[in-house]
Amino acid sequence: MFRVIRLLCALISGMIFCGMQALGSEEIPILLYHHINDVPANASRPMHRWSLSPEKFEAQMDWVFRHRFHPITMQQLIGHLKHAQALPPKPIVLSFDDGLKDHYSVVFPILKKRGFVATFFIITDSVGHSAFMDWEKILEMSGAGMDIEAHTVTHPNLADVSHEQARFEIFQSKSVLEKHLNKTVIVLAYPYGKYTQDVIAITKSAGYEGAVTLSGLNGGYLFRADQSYTLQRFAIEGQDNLDCVAHIKGFD
Ligand SMILES: [Zn+2]
């Protein structure tokens, strides 16, 4: 039966999942979302790929609720990982990259309605510009229990910039966020999921307790104590069905 479901899911999503291992119960799924909005039919392929409609997103959050998952923040996950803090049963992390306007206008109300928390990774130099949330909205979300963490200053590929530039991006984004939010920022999301050993070393020296990368859906995710600076996330794409993803990855 499981084989049939897997095949069906692969067909539906257009992706090849066969051969993936189901994960153990100690591993906690970290989902990654980008745009939650309707894109026009003539939008670019990347825009279609990284945009999930509000209806689909809400249906996915209903799925999370129905399956009795308890969304937790990255702060909670790191607290558990590094300081043995207790977590609710069936934890799951919902994370959103780039600090987009629709994270406030669409995602925030859908999460609030269900009592869910999530983590939002902010590019500090983008705050307030065109497609991005301003500080007022970010502060409101932070005040409502949402976890706000760092996604660098200008969103470069950290594996591709000088040591000095990487240092600036990693240190500065943390301090700008902390100044605005009056709270400690402990997690960094590497832009494009790219990092090097030097980037990890800088991240640690800046005082972050963990960092997230990303993986395609075929890359899976892992969650172990020694991987706190390379925590992988499932990128949910526009065509994805969470039910299928969960079956394949074995976290439902
Ligand atoms: Zn990003």
Average pLDDT for 56-63: 94
**Cα 72 to ligand 1 centre (Å):** 21
Average pLDDT, the chain: 84
Does 120 reside within a domain?
yes
What is the distance in A from the centroid of ligand 1 to the CA of 155? 6
Q: pLDDT tens-digit profile of 124-148?
A: 999 999 999 999 999 999 999 999 9
Residue 21 lies in a domain: no
Element (H, E) at 139: helix 135-143
Distance 34 CA to ligand 1 centre (A): 8
Residue 4 has pLDDT above 80, yes or no: no
For residue 252, what pLDDT band results from cuts at 50, 70 and 90? low
Residue 11 is predicted with a pLDDT of: 33
Q: Which residues of 225-242 are buried (b: 16+ CB within 10 A; e: fewer)?
A: eeebbbbbbbbbbbebbb
Dist. CA 196 → ligand 1 center (Å): 17
How many C-beta atoms lie closer than 10 Å to residue 57's C-beta? 23
pLDDT of residue 200: 94
C-alpha 98 – ligand 1 centre gap (Å) = 5
pLDDT digits (tens, 9 = 90+) for 83-123: 889 999 999 999 999 999 999 999 999 999 999 999 999 99
Rounded distance from Cα 7 to ligand 1 centre (Å): 31
237 falls in which pLDDT band (50, 70, 90)?
confident
The predicted pLDDT at position 248 comes to 60
For residue 173, pLDDT beyond 70:
yes
Q: Is residue 16 part of a domain?
A: no
pLDDT in tens, 22-56: 333 357 889 999 999 988 888 888 778 888 899 99
**Ligand 1 centroid vs 246 CA: distance in angstroms?**
24
Q: What is the mean pLDDT of residues 215-239?
A: 62
CB-CB neighbours of 142 under 10 Å: 18
Residue 167 maps to a domain:
yes
237 CA distance to ligand 1 middle (Å)? 14
- For the cut 70, the answer to whether the pLDDT of residue 7 exceeds it is no
213 has pLDDT over 80 = yes
- 5 domain-assigned: no
Q: What is the pLDDT of residue 247?
A: 67
Q: Give the pLDDT of residue 250.
A: 65
**CATH number for the domain including 59?**
3.20.20.370
128 falls within a domain: yes
Please compute the mean of the pLDDT values over residues 213-230 and round it to a whole number.
55
Q: What total number of domains does the chain contain?
A: 1
Task: For residue 116, give its domain range.
Answer: 29-243
User: In angstroms, what CA-CA distances link 52 with 46, 147, 149, 152?
Assistant: 12, 21, 22, 24
Per-residue burial over 30-53, b = 16 or more CB atoms within 10 Å of its CB, e = otherwise: bbbbbbbbebeeeeeeeebbbbbe
Band (226; pLDDT cuts 50, 70, 90): low
pTM of the entire predicted model: 0.84
In a domain, 248, yes or no: no
For residue 24, tell me if it sits in a domain. no
3-state helix, strand, coil split of the chain in percent (to 5) is 45, 15, 40
* Residue 234 alpha carbon to ligand 1 centre in Å: 14
